[in-house]
Amino acid sequence: MKTTIVSPKVYTYGSLVLGGVLRDRGHAASITRDLSSDGDLTLLSLFSTSQLLDPGIRDFARRSPRIYVGGPVGLVPEIVLGELEVDAVVVGEGEEVVGDLVEGGPSEEIPGLAFRRDGEVVKTDPVPVSDLDHVMPLIPDDLKSQNVRGANVYIETHRGCLGGCTFCQVPRFFGRSIRSRSLENILAEVREMRRRGVTRVAVSGGTGSLFGYGGAVNKEALIELLRSLAEILGPKNLSVPDMRVDFVDEEILEAIRKYTVGWVFFGIESGSPGILRAMKKGTTPEKNLEAVELAHQSGVKVGGSFIVGYPGETEEDYQATLDFMEEAMLEDVFASVAEPIPGTPLAKLALEYPKEDNPLYREHAGDYRALRLSEAEARCFNLMLHGMSCRPVPRIVDGGIYSALLEEARVQGRDVRRVMDLLAKYRGRIV
């Protein structure tokens, strides 16, 4: 039987691993980003709620004779089964599930599945994978030409996060204890990727510095990981995008400067202590600023991500974020409209929050009123503009950049409202 793994637009790391599992079980598995592929059986890897609403993906699911969905969207399988014509959803981690699923079809004997039987959704509890040292992923020939934020591929070094941020699915999907892969297993994989032409690798999200965590940050393990990866790839080909501000220090930042492209990305989210508390971020503006300053002193450039339009965010809270940016002088800024990802506490909060007070729906009446934006979109747009000027080397905003940022803010607002509509549609079943 021909099994095709489809990872639309981007090869997710999880899809490569599942491909490796099937290959080692003797299946003729192939992997593609192309939705025009056909096969007797398809595994569809989806990471964002918006993908459930993508007409191309919906049509692809309808056309496929047998199709199973996996990835972070599996956190709330009721929505996946309700929106896509698929035969089953992998609810948690997939590598110990996918072989039995492909070989025997959905069954109550397989943990971590959701499927329909006689119109009812049957769900089995997921079991987290205990040993993350997995098989060699299936590496497609065109992985070397993929570009995701500058890297050919994001690899996973560990799962789980100690944090409990209300908007984030990582601790809900992978749990709050940290499970790490062995250094040997990671290096063998990266050597093979390198042999297959991959040049630029990013250590995947969550919180990079929790690799090897065992009750405390394991600096030695992290530094050895970065040093060894840089030895294979060359220092300017490795990045460690996401870090928590409270899990870095001089030594870690020095290793980042020495062995990687020399950037960190901090999830700063807001300049308002009240909003950081509401998000259960576990940091304060002061801690965020200290970490940014420490990185700069260590010669490391900092990108910061910010969330605007969080339920309850006032004009003063938003102003505090702008003030923070002026003080921090980040080298890059990512602004997002708060997305209530299904399965997160923010999704519940957003549904309960009165629509008329939600910045996502409230019309913006300030400086950008002629642009007909919602308040959340206007804050997102303004923050991105602000991020262009509050840098060590400011960027000139010409007409092209202005239009691109405006479009980005509009698209974000539209996509988040669509996610809200989905949540409302499934409210009784998922909250």
| Cα–Cα dist 307/318, whole Å | 10
Shortest Cβ 267–ligand SF4 spacing (Å): 5
364 part of the interface to ligand SF4, by CB under 6 A: no
CB 294 within 8 A of CB 271: no
- Provide the 10 A C-beta neighbour count for residue 16: 24
Q: Which stretch binds ligand SF4 (CB under 6 A): 108-116, 119-127, 159-167, 360-368?
A: 159-167
Shortest Cβ 400–ligand SF4 spacing (Å): 32
Q: Coil, strand or helix: which one is 12?
A: coil
159 part of the interface to ligand SF4, by CB under 6 A: no
Q: What are phi and psi of 109, to 5 degrees?
A: -80, -15
Shortest Cβ 161–ligand SF4 spacing (Å): 3
Q: 347: closest CA among 54, 46, 76?
A: 76
Shortest Cβ 168–ligand SF4 spacing (Å): 3
| β-sheet bridge partners, residue 360 | none
346 part of the interface to ligand SF4, by CB under 6 A: no
Over the window 96 to 135, marking each residue x when it contacts ligand SF4 by CB under 6 A and - when it does not, the resulting string is: ----------------------------------------
CB 357 within 8 A of CB 328: no
Query: Per this entry, what is the length of the chain?
Result: 431
Classify residue 169 by burial, with Cβ atoms within 10 Å: 0-12, 13-18, 19+. Answer: buried
| Cα–Cα dist 82/96, whole Å | 25
Over the window 160 to 179, marking each residue x when it contacts ligand SF4 by CB under 6 A and - when it does not, the resulting string is: -x-x-x--x-xx--------
Give me 139's structure tokens. Answer: 């590496």
Task: Considering the complex, state which of residue 143 and residue 307 has its C-beta at the smaller distance from ligand SF4.
Answer: 307
Q: Which of 23, 158, 200, 244 binds ligand SF4 (CB under 6 A)?
A: 244
206 part of the interface to ligand SF4, by CB under 6 A: yes
207 part of the interface to ligand SF4, by CB under 6 A: yes
By CB under 6 A, name the binding residues for ligand SF4: 161, 163, 165, 168, 170-171, 206-207, 244, 267
